[in-house]
């Protein structure tokens, strides 16, 4: 099939999917809370059962990550996310403030365009489908071209589960020919109401440039600071677990370790014992050449690959049981490529004199790439932790926990999510972990709490007492006329 024909077919498919989605959403909007909850529960249960097969499909198609860890991510979306949202009110009156006489009423946003990355294809699809339908929305997925099959398989499973539980057909769908033109049409179509964008910075920028309300996320470049009061062994174990989880592709995973010089020897020894391999200065340029393309972007052929494989491609000798590669760097910036997000089990390593220097270095790393995302702290000093939290441009400051899992809300009390906002720090519309609450319009029913005439009389009684009105009668008449017009 010629490219023009392929583009035309893809565009027509998008139009058809959006039309069906809109019709299905208008029907779903009439469902009760109990009906919605039953549908979402069925989708979650089906996803739990399919966690292993979907993980295998994702690994076979993309070649990225670790099979067992992909199962964990699928279960995280199907269980942890579901358990947090299952009792959330998303239909009708969801909150009442008796004192202020204000009731909040939930309304769906409509049809959602959901863009899915190649790094977390099946888990992100499960997550976005659950939160979309929980808020009575329809969702049309645009899969990454390198993960079309596994994403389509996930969408088909979710659609069947939802329809079997009573949802209208077409409420969940997926583009089968994900061309650039098709994705652009999906994002700009008049019947699409919100965009949920997870992926590269270019795609997220396109979502924000579409003219539609969008929830996009920026890159992560998470600094992990090991402060002098930290439990060193626990800190290193957390970083190693996090950085090797699914071969380092979660956006909240650590990218740099900042270590106080007084701890360096012990920290390095712990890393080595846990499967970390420190590179020689001569090996660092070799690693840079393999990880990054000439234009500066991360090489997709290396993303999510094991540490030993990456070392082999770079011509670097490391022990066979190596889980993470570490490179000691003297600075931050474009001239130090490893100070950026690497999407692989590789870490930059820095030494600092104290927490003040660590604070400034962490800020530099975030500003370079990852502003507004996440910082990981390993410390028992609440004063230092608080100062980091107050001063740093990060939306999530996770403490004494693996950052990849803590940022997602798996090992912390944060909202379990696979879409992490970076706030205006990173050019995003929210700093939250995205959930159903972001996919609702909230209407507010407000009763009078103060009579307008009484308010007017009270106002002028105070003004006359202070002598600030020279002609209170004239002003009174003007305001009375304004109130009448407003009424």
Return the number of other C-beta atoms located less than 10 Å from residue 464's C-beta: 12
**If 0-12 CB within 10 Å is exposed, 13-18 middle and 19+ buried, where does residue 122 land?**
buried
Using DSSP bridges, classify how beta strands 222-226 and 254-260 pair: parallel, antiparallel or unpaired.
Answer: parallel
Return the DSSP state at 80.
I
Q: How many CB atoms lie within 10 A of CB 191?
A: 15
Q: Which residue has the tokens 């009424």?
A: 487
Q: How far apart are CA 357 and CA 257, in angstroms?
A: 13
What b-and-e string marks burial along 354-386, b requiring 16 or more CB atoms within 10 Å of the CB?
ebeebbebbbebbebbbbbbbbbbbbeeeebbe
In three-state secondary structure terms, 156 is helix
Identify the three-state secondary structure at position 235.
helix
Question: In sequence order, what E strands does 177-251 have?
Answer: 194-197, 214-216, 222-226
Which residue of the set 150, 251, 259, 422 is catalytic? 251
Can you say whether the dihedral through the CA atoms of 414, 415, 417, 422 is positive or negative? negative
Q: Please give the radius of gyration of the chain, using alpha carbons only, rounded to the nearest integer.
A: 26
Residues 47/158, Cβ–Cβ less than 8 Å: yes
Neighbours of 440 (CB within 10 A): 23
**Alpha carbon distance 294, 257 (integer Å):** 25
- Collect contacts of 296-301 with beta carbons under 8 A, ≥24 apart: 296/334, 296/337, 298/341, 298/342, 298/343, 298/344, 300/118, 300/146
Cα 27–chain centre separation = 29
Is residue 251 flagged as an active site residue? yes
- The catalytic residues are 251
């Amino acid at each position: 099939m010629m490219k023009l024909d392929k583009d035309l077919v893809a565009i027509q498919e998008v139009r058809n999917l959006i039309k069906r989605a809109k019709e299905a959403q208008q029907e779903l909007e009439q469902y009760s809370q109990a009906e919605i909850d039953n549908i979402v529960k069925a989708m979650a249960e089906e996803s739990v059962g399919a966690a292993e097969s979907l993980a295998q499909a994702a690994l076979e198609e993309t070649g990225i990550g670790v099979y067992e860890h992909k199962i964990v991510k699928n279960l995280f979306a199907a269980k942890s996310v579901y358990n947090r949202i299952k009792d959330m009110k998303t239909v009708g009156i969801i909150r009442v403030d008796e004192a202020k006489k204000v009731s909040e009423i939930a309304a769906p946003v409509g049809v959602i365009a959901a863009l899915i990355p190649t790094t977390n294809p099946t888990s992100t699809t499960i997550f976005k489908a659950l939160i979309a339908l929980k808020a009575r929305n329809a969702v049309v997925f645009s899969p990454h071209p390198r993960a079309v099959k596994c994403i389509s398989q996930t969408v088909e499973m979710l659609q069947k589960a939802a329809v079997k539980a009573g949802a209208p057909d077409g409420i969940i769908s997926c583009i089968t020919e994900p061309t650039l033109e098709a994705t652009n049409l999906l994002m700009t179509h008049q019947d699409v109401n919100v965009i949920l964008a997870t992926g590269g910075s270019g795609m997220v920028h396109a979502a924000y440039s579409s003219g539609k309300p969008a929830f996009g996320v920026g890159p992560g470049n998470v600094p992990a600071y090991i402060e002098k009061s930290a439990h060193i062994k626990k800190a290193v174990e957390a970083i190693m677990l996090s950085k090797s989880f699914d071969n380092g592709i979660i956006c909240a995973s650590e990218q740099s370790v900042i270590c106080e010089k007084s701890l360096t020897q012990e920290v390095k020894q712990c890393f080595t014992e846990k499967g970390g391999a420190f590179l020689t200065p001569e090996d660092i340029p070799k690693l840079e050449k393999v990880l990054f393309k000439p234009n500066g972007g991360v090489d997709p052929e290396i993303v999510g690959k094991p540490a030993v494989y990456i070392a082999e491609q770079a011509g670097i000798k490391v022990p066979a049981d190596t889980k993470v590669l570490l490179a000691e760097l003297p600075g931050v910036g474009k001239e130090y490529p490893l100070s950026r997000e690497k999407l692989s089990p590789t870490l930059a390593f820095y030494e600092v004199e104290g927490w003040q220097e660590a604070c400034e270095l962490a800020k530099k790393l975030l500003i370079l790439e990852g502003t507004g995302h996440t910082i990981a702290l390993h410390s028992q000093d609440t004063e230092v932790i608080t100062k980091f939290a107050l001063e740093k441009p990060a939306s999530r400051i996770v403490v004494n926990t693996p950052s990849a899992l803590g940022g997602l809300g798996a090992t912390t009390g944060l909202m379990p999510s696979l879409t992490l906002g970076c706030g205006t720090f990173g050019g995003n519309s929210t700093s939250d972990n995205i959930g159903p609450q972001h996919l609702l319009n909230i209407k507010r029913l407000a009763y009078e709490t103060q009579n307008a005439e009484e308010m007017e009389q009270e106002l002028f009684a105070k003004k006359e007492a202070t002598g600030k009105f020279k002609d209170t009668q004239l002003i009174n008449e003007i305001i009375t006329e304004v109130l009448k017009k407003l009424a």
